[in-house]
């Protein structure tokens, strides 16, 4: 499993791998989030999984609105993961260490939107309608979207028309809990588990780390999609290949050992038979 960071626009990724596009945005006028730790944790979890070799992890940082259109068009990812701030309703208290900011847009359309980097590094709100329209225009390759940001469930609902599965957050989620969810979730994806199984593993990871908010992730599924199926079909992993080769080697050694033992036994029998024949031969005058 390879890790690709921001590259030149013409650097293409290998076609035989499924691309996971990690989009991170933490504008300077929003609370600091440990997005680099999340990207590293996902990368490590995929690398150690049995089928991590089938994924290409491409990360993009300080993402601006137009980057979404460009990266979807260029990389044609199978999975898109957004890590950053969502927008919470005006009047909702700031929980602290969460992944949400107050939407400054006057209408309710901002709820469920994402805060990306704008001019000068300040936050720029992108509405659910704009994001859904973008996926509808250039996101035909995408089968799974993970919105690791607060109040992203409305956006997940909007994307369900264009993507098989979308994970969003019902309300606020702590930065650490969001990272734990990602570790558990991609561990399951890396083992070619079903989306439903990976989702449950993500929530379990939050609890295993002793954190709250395990009830915040919410899975949305397009009508007709079997959430119990895996995104990728299982194939023989490198670990399985090594085990198979070892088993063949052991079997070969055993067969050689048996053949040698049989050969020794036959030779011994032949020698003993010859000696017996000599002993019982009558002496002639």
Does 77 reside within a domain?
yes
Q: Within a domain: residue 229? A: no
Q: Closest by alpha carbon to 185, among 22, 72, 64? A: 22
Cβ-proximal residues to 96 (8 Å cutoff; 6+ apart), any chain: none
pLDDT of residue 250: 84
Looking at the structure, do residues 170 and 48 belong to the same domain, yes or no? Answer: yes
* Euclidean distance between CA atoms 211 and 68, whole angstroms: 31
* pLDDT value, residue 255: 87
Q: What is the pLDDT of residue 96?
A: 56
**Residue pLDDT, tens place only, 183-233:** 999 999 999 999 999 999 999 999 999 999 999 999 999 999 999 988 877
- Residue 262's pLDDT is 87
User: Structural domain of residue 258, as residue ranges?
Assistant: 236-285
Establish if 192 belongs to a structural domain: yes
Res 105: pLDDT: 47
Residue 8 clears pLDDT 60, i.e. is over it: no
Confidence at residue 279, expressed as pLDDT on a 0 to 100 scale: 56
Strand stretches in the chain, DSSP E: 2-4, 18-25, 55-60, 79-88, 100-102, 114-117, 123-126, 144-148, 165-169, 217-221
Same domain, 165 and 189: yes
The verdict on 47 and 172 lying in the same domain is yes
Give me the DSSP letters along 14-52.
PTTSEEEEEEEE--TTS----HHHHHHHHHHHHHHSTTG
Q: CA triplet 211, 115, 218: central angle to 5 degrees?
A: 45
231 domain residue, yes or no: no
Average pLDDT value over all residues in the chain:
86
pLDDT at position 86 over 70: yes
pLDDT value for 106: 44
Give a yes or no: residue 228 inside a domain.
no
Whether residues 15 and 125 fall in one domain? yes
7 CB contacts (<8 Å, ≥6 apart)?
Answer: none
Helix (H) or strand (E) holding 129: helix 128-138
Q: Is 242 part of any domain?
A: yes
């Amino acid at each position: 499993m390879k890790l690709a960071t921001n590259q030149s626009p013409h650097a293409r990724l290998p076609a035989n791998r499924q691309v996971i596009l990690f989009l991170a945005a933490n504008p300077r006028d929003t609370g600091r989030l440990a997005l680099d730790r999340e990207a590293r944790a996902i990368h490590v979890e995929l690398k150690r999984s049995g089928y991590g070799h089938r994924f290409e992890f491409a990360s993009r940082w300080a993402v601006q609105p137009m980057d979404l259109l460009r990266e979807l068009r260029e990389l044609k990812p199978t999975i898109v993961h957004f890590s950053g701030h969502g927008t919470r309703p005006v009047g909702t208290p700031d929980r602290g260490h969460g992944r949400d900011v107050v939407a400054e847009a006057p209408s309710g359309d901002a709820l469920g939107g994402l805060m990306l980097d704008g001019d000068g590094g300040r936050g720029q709100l992108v509405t659910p309608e704009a994001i859904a329209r973008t996926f509808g225009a250039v996101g035909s390759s995408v089968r799974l979207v993970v919105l690791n940001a607060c109040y992203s469930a409305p956006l997940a609902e909007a994307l369900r028309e264009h993507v098989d599965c979308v994970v969003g957050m019902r309300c606020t989620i702590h930065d650490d809990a969001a990272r734990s969810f990602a570790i558990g979730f991609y561990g399951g994806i890396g083992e070619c588990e079903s989306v439903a199984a990976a989702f449950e593993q993500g929530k379990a990871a939050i609890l295993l780390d002793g954190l709250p908010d395990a009830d915040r992730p919410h899975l949305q599924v397009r009508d007709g999609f079997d959430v119990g199926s895996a995104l990728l079909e299982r194939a023989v992993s490198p670990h399985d290949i090594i085990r198979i080769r070892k088993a063949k080697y052991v079997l070969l050694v055993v067969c050689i050992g048996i053949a040698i033992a049989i050969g020794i036994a036959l030779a011994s029998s032949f020698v003993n038979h010859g000696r017996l024949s000599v002993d019982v031969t009558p002496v002639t005058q």
